[in-house]
């Protein structure tokens, strides 16, 4: 599967977001969780990758099956504030 540069950038952005589950990335781009991890490892500096892995490893909102029923949005309500 070939990703466009803008897709590559968007996947990285979605992977960093706390409330965007891996299943949403797979649905939009066809890239499973293992593929996202490989992409992040290739794209980020080693320290940034380790920080990201620590961040998402314990986060229930990154997996639809582990999410609380009240979490239905892909982003927090105040995440994208108008300028």
pLDDT value, residue 19: 81
Query: How far apart are the C-alpha atoms of 7 and 19, rounded to whole Å?
Result: 19
> Cα 59–78–68 angle (5° rounding)?
35
For 20-70, how does the pLDDT look when each residue is reduced to its tens digit (9 = 90+)? 889 889 988 999 999 999 999 999 999 999 999 998 887 776 766 765 666
pLDDT value, residue 58: 76
Closest CA to 14 of 29, 4, 34: 29
């Amino acid at each position: 599967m070939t990703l466009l540069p803008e897709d590559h950038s968007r996947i990285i952005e979605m992977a960093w977001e706390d409330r965007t589950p891996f299943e949403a990335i797979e649905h939009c781009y066809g890239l499973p969780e293992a593929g996202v991890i490989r992409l992040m490892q290739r794209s980020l500096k080693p320290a940034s990758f380790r920080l990201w892995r620590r961040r998402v490893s314990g986060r229930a909102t990154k997996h639809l099956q582990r999410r609380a029923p009240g979490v239905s949005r892909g982003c927090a309500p105040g995440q994208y504030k108008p300028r």
